[in-house]
C-alpha cells in the first residue's frame, strides 16, 4: 500500500473525493490520488463526470492547459502511477492575492480556448451536482429557515434553469476557480491548480463560481469577464445568465450542506447561523440575493 514519506509536510486544503493527501516536499508539492475501490460511487469512474478521479492525471500527461490563454496550469514535474493510484508532483509556488476583475477577465479569455476533444473532459457540471443534491434529499435543512419559500421556488425551477444553461454556448471551463486554486500572475495570465473539473460548460459558469468568493460587485465581475471574451463568442446577457444560474444554485447548495452538518447538534437551527463553518456560506448567499430575485 502506498504511503507518504515520513519527512513530507502535509498541506491543508486540496482534498477531494479521490485525493488521499497533499504534501510539501522541498520545492515541490505532491498530490496523491486514490483509484476507486469496490463500492465507491460510479461517478468516480465516469470520464465525463466532474468527480472523475483520473482527470488531474490526464491534464498533467497531456499538458492540455500548460499554455492556454487567461488561465494556465503549473506543469507537472513527475507523474508516478501504481496499482493503487497516482502521485503527482508540481513545483511549489507562493500564492498572491489577485484582484477579482483581473481574474474574471482571465476566465473570459480562457473561455475562448478550444480544448482538444479529450474523452475525459467534464460535462454538465452543475446538472451533475444538482443530481447529487437530489439523491441526498434536496435542500431539506433550508426548509427550516426563513428562506424556505425562496429555496423551494428555486428547487422547483431547477429543471428550467438547467435547460437554459444547456442552451448557452459551451466554452472551456476550469470548474473550480476559487482563490485557493488561483495562485499567481503569469503576465496577463493566472496560474491555476486543481484542474480536476476541467471541461466544457456554459458561458459564464466559471465566473459564477468565482463570484461566490469575490469581494467585488457581481456586475463589475461580469463586465470584466465579458471584456476578456473573444469577439463573437457570446454577448453580455448570455454570460450574465450563465454566471447567475451557476452562482445561485451553487451558493444555495453550499448553504444547505453547511447547515446540514450542524443541524443535528443541540440548540435551535437559527442559533447556528453564526457558526464559523456556516456563516461564510450564508454571507455568500446573502450577497447574491439580487441574482436570486432575478431567477425568481
DSSP string over 50-81? TT-TTHHHHHHHHTTTSS-SSEEE---SEEEE
266 occurs within a structural domain: yes
Q: Do 111 and 79 share a structural domain?
A: no
Q: Do 178 and 78 share a structural domain?
A: no
168 three-class SS: coil
Give me the count of residues in the chain.
296
The mean pLDDT value for 214-232 works out to 96
Distance of CA 44 to the CA centre of its chain: 16
Residue (of 134, 13, 29) closest to 77 by Cα position: 29
228 three-class SS: helix
More confident residue, 85 or 273: 85
- The reported pLDDT for the residue numbered 264 is 82
2 occurs within a structural domain: no
CATH code, domain carrying 254: 3.90.1200.10
Which three three-digit cell numbers place residue 182?
Answer: 488561483
Laid out side by side, the sheet with 78-82 consists of 9-10, 19-25, 28-34, 85-91, 78-82
- The reported pLDDT for the residue numbered 14 is 58
pTM equals 0.94
- The reported pLDDT for the residue numbered 125 is 96
Looking at every residue in the chain, the average pLDDT score rounds to 94
Q: Do 287 and 160 share a structural domain?
A: yes
The mean pLDDT value for 259-273 works out to 84
Q: Do 122 and 22 share a structural domain?
A: no
Of the chain, the end-to-end C-alpha distance in Å amounts to: 51
Q: Do 130 and 69 share a structural domain?
A: no
Laid out side by side, the sheet with 189-192 consists of 71-73, 189-192, 182-186
Q: Do 70 and 119 share a structural domain?
A: no
% of the chain at pLDDT higher than 70:
99
Instruction: Note whether 41 and 180 are within 8 A (CB).
Output: no
Q: Do 113 and 59 share a structural domain?
A: no
Q: Domain residues for 79?
A: 9-91
90 three-class SS: strand
Last-in-domain residue among 69, 91, 113 = 91
- Residue 92 host element (H or E): none
Amino acid at each position: 500500500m502506498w504511503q507518504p514519506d515520513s519527512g513530507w509536510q502535509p498541506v491543508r486544503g486540496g482534498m477531494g473525493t479521490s485525493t488521499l493527501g497533499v504534501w510539501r516536499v522541498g520545492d515541490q508539492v505532491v498530490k496523491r490520488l486514490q483509484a476507486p475501490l469496490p463500492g465507491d460511487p460510479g461517478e468516480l469512474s465516469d470520464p465525463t463526470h466532474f468527480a472523475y478521479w483520473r482527470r488531474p492525471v490526464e491534464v498533467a500527461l497531456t499538458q492540455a492547459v500548460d499554455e492556454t490563454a487567461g488561465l494556465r496550469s503549473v506543469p507537472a514535474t513527475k507523474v508516478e502511477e501504481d496499482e493503487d493510484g497516482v502521485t503527482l508532483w508540481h513545483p511549489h509556488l507562493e500564492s498572491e492575492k489577485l484582484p477579482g476583475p483581473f481574474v474574471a477577465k482571465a476566465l473570459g479569455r480562457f473561455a475562448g480556448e478550444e480544448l482538444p476533444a479529450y474523452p475525459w473532459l467534464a460535462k454538465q457540471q452543475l446538472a451533475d451536482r444538482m443530481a447529487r443534491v437530489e439523491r441526498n434529499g434536496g435542500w431539506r435543512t433550508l426548509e427550516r429557515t426563513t428562506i424556505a419559500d425562496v429555496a423551494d421556488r428555486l428547487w422547483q425551477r431547477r429543471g428550467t434553469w438547467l435547460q437554459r444553461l444547456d442552451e448557452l454556448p459551451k466554452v472551456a471551463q476550469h470548474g473550480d476557480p476559487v482563490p485557493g486554486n488561483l495562485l499567481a500572475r503569469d503576465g496577463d495570465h493566472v496560474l491555476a491548480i486543481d484542474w480536476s473539473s476541467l471541461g466544457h460548460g456554459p458561458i459564464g459558469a466559471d465566473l459564477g463560481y468565482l463570484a461566490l468568493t469575490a469581494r467585488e460587485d457581481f456586475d463589475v465581475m461580469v463586465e470584466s469577464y465579458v471584456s476578456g471574451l473573444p469577439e463573437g463568442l457570446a454577448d453580455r446577457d448570455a454570460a450574465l445568465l450563465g454566471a447567475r444560474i451557476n452562482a445561485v444554485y451553487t451558493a444555495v447548495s453550499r448553504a444547505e450542506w453547511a447547515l446540514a452538518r450542524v443541524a443535528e447538534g443541540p440548540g435551535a437551527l437559527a442559533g447556528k447561523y453564526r457558526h464559523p463553518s456556516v456563516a461564510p456560506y450564508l454571507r455568500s448567499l446573502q450577497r447574491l440575493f439580487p441574482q436570486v430575485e432575478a431567477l425568481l
